[in-house]
Amino acid sequence: MSRPSTNFNLLIIIMSDLSRHLFLIALFFSVVGSAVAVIISTHENRQLVIAQEQLVQQKDALDVEWRHLIIEQSSLTEHNLIERTVLEKLDMRRPTREDEVLLRVK
């Protein structure tokens, strides 16, 4: 018994199927492209949120440091501290009446 010869060219069959369904193929690639765009934009959004959180934490740390510096500045400019520093380190005193000298100019 002889078999009928079935010589199919697979490439020709695939190309003919693809040419019949061009719209579906374009739709498939547009869906895949859209999914990739969503993934990329979601990743970038998360990276920006992380950067924003780091900047907010840095801002809070700088605010705390600023408050501490303001408190330190106000404590260093108090009159009691200045007077005590002048007395202890520079050995300066308020002049008494005996220390005062009057000069009369003619």
pLDDT in tens, 25-80: 899 999 999 999 999 999 999 999 999 999 999 999 999 999 999 998 887 777 77
Asked if 93 and 87 touch (Cβ cutoff 8 Å), the reply is yes
Q: Which domain holds residue 29?
A: 22-89
pLDDT at 9: 85
How many structural domains does the chain have? 1
- Is 63 among the domain residues? yes
The answer to whether position 102 is within a domain reads no
Contact call for residues 32 and 24 (beta carbons, < 8 A): no
Residue 1 falls inside a structural domain? no
pLDDT exceeds cutoff 70 at 2: no
Q: Is 0.85 surpassed by the pTM of this model?
A: no
Whole-angstrom Cα distance, residue 75 to residue 85?
A: 13
Burial of 95 (0-12, 13-18, 19+ CB in 10 A): exposed
Give the max Cα distance, the chain: 152
- The pLDDT assigned to 49 comes to 98
Question: Is 61 within the bounds of a domain?
Answer: yes
What phi and psi, each to the nearest 5 degrees, are found at residue 5?
Answer: -80, 125
Q: Looking at the domain assignment, is residue 42 inside a domain?
A: yes
Q: Which two tokens stand for residue 80?
A: 């009691």
Between 5 and 29, the higher pLDDT residue: 29
Q: Tokens in use for 54? A: 């780091």
For residue 13, being part of any structural domain is answered with no
Q: What is the pLDDT of residue 45?
A: 98
Please report the pLDDT score of residue 4 as a whole number: 59
Confidence at 6, pLDDT banded by 50, 70, 90: low
